[in-house]
Amino acid sequence: MTQTAPRLTPQQLDAFGRELDAIRERVIADLGERDASYIRRVIKAQRGLEVAGRGLLFFSLLPPAWIAGTTALALSKILDNMEIGHNVMHGQYDWMNDPAVNGQRFEWDSACPSEQWRHSHNYMHHTHTNILGKDRDIGYGVLRMSEDQRWHPYYLGNPIYAMVLASFFQWGVAFHDLEMDRVAAGKGSLKDKAEMVRAIWRKGRRQALKDYALFPLLAGPGAPTTLAANVTANYVRNVWAFMIIFCGHFPDGVEEFTLEETEGETRGEWYRRQLLGSANLTGGPLFHIMSGNLSHQIEHHLFPDLPGHRYAELAVEVREICERYGLPYNSGPLHKQFGSVVRKIVRLALPDSGSGEGEAAPASGPVATGRPQLAAVA
C-alpha cells in the first residue's frame, strides 16, 4: 500500500515508542480522584438528561415538550454510548474498583451486547488498526473504504449503504461480529455463531421493547409522539456516532497497512501505525465530551486504556513528539474531515481509473474487509 509518512530507523522507532510509553506510565501513576470525579459527574449528567427527557415526553403532545424531551434523550444516549460506555468498556476506569464503571461488567444503551463489542472493537480493531484483511472496521463489511479493496459492482451503492449504516449504526455494530459478508460469500455459517445470534436477539429485543413499546405505552395518549421521539433520539445518536467514528478513521491522510508489513511489529512500529491510521477533530470542551473524546482519535488509539478526558492535554505532547520525528498529525474541524470521508465514500463507489478494480482482494468476497485490535495494551 502507498505509505506517505516518512520511514523511521529502528533506533528512531524504539525512541519514539519509549517516549509514548513514558507518557502512558506517567498518566497511570497519576490516576486518582480527578478522574473518578469526572466520570461520576458525566454519569450523573447522563442520567439526569435521560430522566428529564423521559419525563418531558409524557407531555409529548405539546410541541415544546416533544422538542425538549427528544433533545434531552438524544444527548443522554450520546453520552451513554460515547463518553461513558465506550470509554468504560475500554477499562479506562477499572482501577477505581467500582462495579458501576467496571469495563467487563458494563452494559450500555445499545443493541450491541457489550461482550461482543469488547471483542470486535477492543481486541480486533485496536490490535489490527487499518490492516486490510484484518481490521473489519474498514467498511464494517458493508462499504468500500480503501482503494486496495477490489472493486465490485456491489460498491456502486456505497453512498446508499453509508446512509443506511449511519441511520441504524447501533444495529450495524450489533451485527458486525456475525461477519455476514463472509456468510454471504459461503465462508461461514450462522449456525457456527448461534450463541452470538441469541445474545444479539436478547439485547436487541430489550432495546427495541424499551424504546418502541414500553415508554410509548406509558405515555398513554402521547404514545405516537413518544414513539416518534424515541426513534428520533436513536437516529440522532446513530448518525452522530457514525460521523465521529468515520472522521477518526477514514478522512484524507489516514493510511492503511498490509499484513506483510506489520508482521513482527515492534512497540514503536505499533505506535506509528496507530498514529498514521487515525485522525483528530478540533473543537471545544463540550464537543470533545459529546464525541466521547474520540475527537482525539489519535490519542485514543495510542492510549486506549487511559481516561478519555485526559486526551486533550496529552494531544499537546503527542503533537510535539510527532513534529520532532517528522510524522504527520492529522487533525481538522468536523466539516473538513467529514467532507473528505463523504468524498471517499462516493469516489470508491466507482471503479478505479485505469484498471477498473483495486490491487488487493477483500478478505472474503465483494463486501468484505477484515477486522482486529490491540492486545490489552501490552
Residue 354: band (very low, low, confident or very high) from pLDDT cuts 50, 70, 90: low
- Per-residue pLDDT, averaged over 142-161, amounts to 94
Q: What is the DSSP string of 237-265?
A: HHHHHHHHHHHHHSSTT---B-TGGGTT-
pTM: 0.90
Residue 366: band (very low, low, confident or very high) from pLDDT cuts 50, 70, 90: very low
In Å, what is the CA distance from 105 to each residue of 48, 50, 98, 117, 339?
22, 21, 10, 12, 37
Q: Is 186's pLDDT higher than 90? A: no
**Could you tell me where the DSSP H helices lie in 148-222?**
158-167, 169-176, 180-184, 194-209, 215-218
- Per-residue pLDDT, averaged over 239-259, amounts to 95
Residue 72 lies in a domain: yes
Q: Is 21's pLDDT higher than 60? A: yes
Residue 358 lies in a domain: no
Q: According to the model, what pLDDT value does residue 356 have?
A: 45
Q: What is the DSSP string of 286-318?
A: HHHHHTTTGGGHHHHHH-TTS-GGGHHHHHHHH
- Per-residue pLDDT, averaged over 348-367, amounts to 57
Which of 56-65, 73-82, 171-180, 236-245 is predicted with the least confidence, judged by mean pLDDT?
A: 171-180
Residue 193: band (very low, low, confident or very high) from pLDDT cuts 50, 70, 90: confident
Q: Please tell me which residue, 139 or 215, carries the higher pLDDT value.
A: 215
The C-alpha cell of 333 is what? 474541524
Residue 373: band (very low, low, confident or very high) from pLDDT cuts 50, 70, 90: very low
The C-alpha cell of 50 is what? 435521560
Residue 179: band (very low, low, confident or very high) from pLDDT cuts 50, 70, 90: confident
β-pairing, 331-332 vs 280-281, is parallel
Question: Into how many domains does the chain fold?
Answer: 1
Residue 92 lies in a domain: yes
| Other CB atoms within 10 Å distance of the CB of residue 186 | 9
Q: According to the model, what pLDDT value does residue 363 have?
A: 39
- Per-residue pLDDT, averaged over 87-96, amounts to 97
Residue 377 lies in a domain: no
- Per-residue pLDDT, averaged over 22-42, amounts to 98
Residue range of the domain that includes 215: 10-347
Residue 378 lies in a domain: no
Residue 359 lies in a domain: no
- Contact between residue 145 and residue 367 where contact means Cβ atoms under 8 Å apart: no
Q: According to the model, what pLDDT value does residue 190 have?
A: 78
Q: According to the model, what pLDDT value does residue 181 have?
A: 76
What average pLDDT does the structure give for the chain?
A: 91
Residue 260 lies in a domain: yes
Q: Is 375's pLDDT higher than 90? A: no
**What is the distance between the alpha carbons of residues 270 and 162, in angstroms, rounded to a whole number?**
29
